[in-house]
Amino acid sequence: MKIERIEKIANNMKDIDGKVLANELVERLNSSSFWELLTEMTKIQIPIIQRDFAQGRENEKTNKIRSLFLESIIEAVESEKGSLELDFVYGNVEKDVFQPLDGQQRLTTLFLLHWYIALKTGELPNTKKHFIKFTYETRISSREFCNELVDNGEFLGIGEKISEKIYDSKWFFLSWKKDPTIKAMLVMLDAIEERLLSKNDEELKIFWQKLTSENPPILFHFKQLNDIGLTDDLYIKMNARGKGLTDFENFKAKFEKHIKKNVFEKELELSENNKEKWKELTEKTFSHRIDTVWTDLFWKHRGEDNIIDNEMIKFIAGIAINNYAQNLEILENSEDELRTRKILEEKKEKNITDEAVKRERIERRITALFNNPADVSPYDFPTKESFEYLKKCFDVYSKNQNDELLPANVTLWDFCKTKKVKINSDTEIDNNLFIEFIKKNETTYSQRVLFYAQTQYLVNLENFDSESFSNWLRVVRNIVQNATIDSAYAFIGAIGLINELSSGCENIYEFLSSTTLKSGFATKQIEEEKLKAALIKSDNNWKSQIFKAEDDIFLKGEIKFLLDFSKVGEEYKIQEFTSISDKFLLLFESKDDLLRKALLTQDDYPVWDGRTSSLGWAHRYSLLNTENEWKDAFRKKSDKFINAVYKLISNSFNLSDDRITILKNVIQNATPLNDYRSHLIKNDSLLRDCYHKRICLNEKKTILYVLEKTRVVGENYKEIKV
């Protein structure tokens, strides 16, 4: 065909005596039309790493470019002389499959122009075998849309514009409206239709003949670049001239190649005999779901820029983090292993085994993804199991509104603050763990553990039960709240425990009361949870009162000392627990000076903070100031402190009475004290002005030093002889 064209070119030249410039002949020799490329190639495939189709975007700049480009094309087709040169189109050709490095935008526009004219002239049914060759690898939705245009294009729906007819067609998926390439294609088709609306059938047939002739009016210079090696990096650099690929787009492009290379999914081939079966299998693939069902999920939670890429990439990175901690598997990498071993040796670590190196690599990778989710790589899903887990996580949050899931009657405290969240310009929903997981701000390790627990429930159980789910999240919340999870090391320990517990997530209290756990994480809280589970299993009346106590904003799940208070002999008594816990919740609602005074009347409770004052011979004692100091006092269970608390809440009083009145009565009716405590109780200013609620006492506790507005004892204190 090329040689025939040269002869025709030469015959049409004004300079028939053969004085034709060599470079002009060479340029003509290498020029092609879209239809020629489509018929000669097995396939024209827009590479997966390419940007979305942009010429159909709706903005002032693109509208102008689109209008001028279409005008030039139509004028060239209408003209009887000359042709329109569209510059170079070049890329990789392998086994007659052409993947353009540059020219995607022009090729897509030409595909739509040819398709529209073929549709209007009745040529589409006869040319499907050619049109079906044009395909998008970028998104499976874009690819399927192009296929449907070709296969079912002549069966359009109802509408004034071509886009409306396509929208109304039975084969059009509503989720495709969110695909930026499809949206842009429909805009371009409307623009083409508007430009050709005045043409009658005969004129359009002439257009078709010209576009598919051997001497077409629209040409581009076609250049193969196989010899330079078309890497993903080269595609990315080339596309930097236009709209840059997002972190998610880059990840997705590489990940789909990763899936194919590692055969994580069976490769599907289109069978004309069983197209419905092929379509059914396709809808289960990662490529299809990431562009349809999962896009619908994240579209709902899109940012103000109406883009879901940041939320998508954070979700994927978060699942990778959870997967690392759950399975403790990482892709083998000899260079990274040697580097990690050297780091451990420099730290003078002992017993640097292969397992220790592997664990260190996993912890470092978790930390890296925690700090920068955009760093996620296909290699963070090294096995088919890790890939399948990612798909399951996407799937469970894409159904039954699980992205809005919250446990019933379980406060998640700071892990998920109760508030309304604006997920787009029109909708507000209750904040939840899914939103915390994909939000722009940092997601803490503790929040990730709770999200992992929620996900394990959804993945493991087919039938959702609100009560069992809430019980499960309650137990996990209590564990997470009362454990320190601030590093990859601790996170792995927490995930290991929750993974072990998740075997019984359907009935967590039955599981806890009957199972010996292997995990050594958060052992004290686990002991408490097992005790509570056993009590609930023995008598369901325990349940509501335990829930009431552990939901307290101060206790936050840690109520072992209250359970101990309710023990009579070797048996825990529900009546005792109800009375004691209700009294505690009332009196300890505020950790104010009135409470401190009431406790002082019960016992010599101030806790030595382990330091000697700058006076040299006086010990520093804490009257408890911060929440952590109060919590530590209950955890350490100092005899005098616990005795003071127990005696205070054992006082006889009516729960309907005012808290302040109750405490004042306790102080007033207390046995007179003849030591330093009487000064603190009687003198309001001493407690009020006591800096950070610290006092100093000599060994015999006969002299009291009250610190006043200073951190250094001895510089500013008030001495009181007892």
Q: Give tens-digit pLDDT for 221-233.
A: 777 765 444 444 4
What confidence tier does 15 reach under pLDDT thresholds 50, 70, 90? very low
* CA end-to-end distance (rounded Å), the chain: 114
More confident residue, 604 or 177: 604
Please, what is the Cα angle at 262 between 396 and 290, to 5 degrees? 35
d(C-alpha 149, C-alpha 402), whole Å: 34
Residues 6+ apart with CB under 8 A from 89: 32, 100, 102, 103, 106, 107, 220, 221, 222, 223
Percent of the chain with pLDDT over 90: 57
Across the strands, what pairs with 699?
none
Nearest-angstrom CA–CA distance, 7 and 207: 23
Give the orientation angle of helix 574-587 with respect to helix 639-650, to 10 degrees: 100
User: Within 10 Å of residue 87's Cβ, how many Cβ atoms?
Assistant: 11
- Best CA proximity match to 144, nearest among 289, 251, 250: 289
| Greater pLDDT, 422 or 359 | 359
Least-confidence region, from 250-254, 302-306, 366-370: 302-306
**Tokens in use for 60?**
């002032």
CB-based contact 243:51 (threshold 8 Å): yes
What integer best gives the mean pLDDT of the chain?
86
Q: Which of 365, 326, 547 is nearest to 453 (CA)?
A: 326
DSSP assignments along 117-149, one per residue: HHHHHT-HHHHHHHHTTEEESS-HHHHHHHHHH
Identify the pLDDT of residue 137.
74
Residue 568 has a CB neighbour count (10 Å cut-off) of 9
Q: For position 594, what pLDDT does the model report?
A: 97
With cut-offs at 50, 70 and 90, classify the pLDDT of residue 181: confident
- Select from 358, 267, 254, 244 the least CA-distant residue to 316: 254
Give the separation between CA 149 and CA 159, rounded to whole angstroms: 16
Amino acid letter, 406:
L
DSSP run (H or E) holding 207: helix 201-211
- Give the Cα separation of 668 and 9 in Å (integer): 114
Q: Exposure of 621 by Cβ count < 10 A (0-12 exposed, 13-18 middle, 19+ buried)?
A: buried
Euclidean distance between CA atoms 299 and 174, whole angstroms? 13
* Burial grade of 3 (CB within 10 A; 0-12, 13-18, 19 or more): exposed
Whether 430 and 422 have beta carbons less than 8 Å apart is answered as no
Kindly report, residue by residue over 516-559, the tens digit of the pLDDT.
999 999 999 999 999 999 999 999 999 999 999 999 999 999 99
CB of 112 closer than 8 Å to CB of 244: no
Beta bridge partners of 135: 45
Specify the pLDDT at position 485.
98
- Spatial strand order in the sheet of 703-708: 607-612, 619-622, 690-697, 703-708, 717-721
Whether residue 7 is predicted with pLDDT greater than 50 in this model: the reply is: no
8 A C-beta contact, residue 5 and residue 215: yes
Look-up of token digits 């969240």: 421
For 533, the 3-state DSSP assignment is helix
* pLDDT above 70: residue 19: no
- The rounded distance, in Å, linking the Cα atoms of 399 and 377 is 26
Parallel, antiparallel, or unpaired for β 97-102 and 428-430? unpaired
Q: Which of 38-42, 56-60, 416-420, 531-535 has the lowest mean pLDDT?
A: 56-60
Distances (CA, A) of 185 to 36, 66, 160: 22, 12, 17
Q: Helix H segments across 328-465? A: 334-346, 354-371, 384-397, 433-438, 445-460
Q: Where are the alpha helices (DSSP H) in 502-625?
A: 508-514, 523-538, 541-550, 560-565, 574-587, 593-602
Grouping H, G, I as helix, E, B as strand and the rest as coil, residue 68 is helix
Pair 445, 486: CB distance under 8 Å? yes
| Structure tokens, 214 | 């051997």
Q: What is the pLDDT of residues 619-628, one digit of tens each?
A: 888 999 999 9
Segments making up each domain of the chain, as ranges: 33-243, 246-399, 590-721
Q: Which residues pair with 92 in a beta bridge?
A: 99
**pLDDT tens for residues 427-442?**
889 999 999 999 989 9
Question: Distance (Å, rounded) from C-alpha 106 to C-alpha 104?
Answer: 6
For 335-381, write each residue's pLDDT tens digit.
999 999 999 998 877 789 999 999 999 999 999 999 999 999 999 99
Q: What is the pLDDT of residue 29?
A: 44
Res. 236 pLDDT band, cuts 50 70 90: very low
Closest CA to 559 of 540, 578, 538: 578
pLDDT mean over 432-453: 96
